Amino acid sequence: MLKNILRKELLENIHSYRFPLFALICVVLIPLGMSVNNAQYAKRLKDYNEQVRLADEAQTGLKIQDLMAGRVTIKGFRPPSQLSVFSQGLENSLPRYYQFGQDGYSQGESSSGDETLASTQGKFDFVFLIQMVISLVGLLFASDMISGEKESGTLRAMLSNSLPRDAILLGKIVGGYLALLAPFLVALVIGVLLLLPGGFPVFAGGTPARIVVMAAAAALFILIYYVIGTMVSATSAKARTSLVAILLIWCGFQLVIPKLSDIAAALIYPVRTDTQVSLEKSLLINTLETESAKELGRQFDLIFAGAKPDAPNDPNSPEFKKWAPIRDDLQLKTREQKAAQLAAIDETFLQQQRRQRSLAAALSLISPSSAFGRLAADICGTGDLARTKYIEAVRSHQKALDNELFSKVKRTLMMHDNGRTTMMFSAEPVDPKKLPKFAIADASLGEALKANAASIAALLFWLIVPFAFAYVRFLKYDVR
């Protein structure tokens, strides 16, 4: 019985005017979006390789004089994500690079400066098409699945034959869903095949597993919206009513809730801006260096008062032997104090950002679209997890450069009681070729799924609850 109902529902959907239109949309838009994004990825990859080459050349030609003068900044570039072909996510929002200097790191420009106003309204990628187009089509397919048959009297005739209601409902859902799933899978396969001539590593490393998991998540997302449409259709007495309700639900899930979640999180848990944090760090650095310079100047004047003119530059003079350990101790304390306080500012700021983003993510899970988008972005390496890995790599690289490069040069700034300011330099030899290279540890597929446990739970919730509600409503439907 279930098999016959499933076949009937599947054939009715395939023979309807909606099916060829939906199939055409899938076969055209999904491969087109993947091809366009693959071309953009190739461009970003070419730019990244060129920027890394230039940065390596600049680092190899590093001169100790520039380091002593404080003119050295080293850049660490973030490679573009291969799977941004499927989900752009934060790809164009994250900084292209971070700069590393003696006073810490700072972020560089992002890729969003290359975008047009139209492109900011939504990325034309695989995930966007699933969220905005296929989800709406899925709702529309289900809008009259039950309410339409109520109006036409078909459902009354069907139930008068004592057919099991659960078999009818399940057959309708599975049959209609298969009519949606088939064009989607065909379009996805075509899109993946079109990536091969462009050199996209479809079968390399963990890429196949990520594509399969993302396709499974997309298939689940489509089923969720079809079940939601079924719930609305089972609740409504007329197809027109269910259509209006479905459009309102789609607008809320796709347009309203994702935007409101970020706004609400910013209002509930406000966080300082990058500019404010940068100003705070600059003020801290200036304060500590000024205090250190005044103390160094005072100690220098006390030790070298009445000494020979060349004593400050003679390592063998008794004044210099007394001065050197005092200078080194003061500079070490200042450097450690500055590093600790800068790290505390950064850690506090990052924690505040993480809390705000976690709150926004929790609020956005009211929408299955947001849950799917976050899951897909992390699978593709363009989500919040990629941002976390990026900043972890930046902080680790700054520490490595502090040990291997910036600590090798000591600049002694002294402010004397008479208002005079002097600067003395000392440096240890540094081999630029042996400096550590900037690298980001990519999150594994397991890490992505673990980080999105809440998103997966939200998707399952939006599958089970609407189905249960539709099941109860359908069982209680009075055919009289």
Query: Using one digit for the tens of pLDDT, what is the confidence trace for 248-286?
Result: 999 999 889 988 998 999 999 999 988 899 899 889 999
Each residue's pLDDT tens digit, 337-359: 988 898 899 889 989 988 998 99
Tell me what pLDDT residue 321 has: 87
Mean of pLDDT over the chain: 86
This prediction's pTM: 0.85
pLDDT bin (cut points 50, 70, 90) of residue 479 is low
* Residue (of 247, 463, 464, 269) closest to 372 by Cα position: 463
- With a cut of 90, say whether residue 447 has pLDDT above it: yes
Per DSSP (E only), the strands in 2-151 are: 74-77, 97-101, 104-107
As a whole number, mean pLDDT of residues 153-166 equals 73
% of the chain at pLDDT higher than 90 = 41
Bridge-partner residues for 423, per DSSP? 413
| 37 neighbors 197 (Cβ within 8 angstroms) | no
Tell me what pLDDT residue 118 has: 45
Beta-carbon contacts of residue 35 (< 8 Å; ≥ 6 apart):
191, 194, 195, 198
As a whole number, mean pLDDT of residues 99-127 equals 70
Residue 159, burial from CB neighbour count under 10 angstroms (0-12, 13-18, 19+): middle
Whole-angstrom distance, CA of residue 139 vs CA of residue 250? 8
- With a cut of 80, say whether residue 123 has pLDDT above it: no
Which tokens in the block code for residue 170? 């399940």
pLDDT bin (cut points 50, 70, 90) of residue 451 is very high
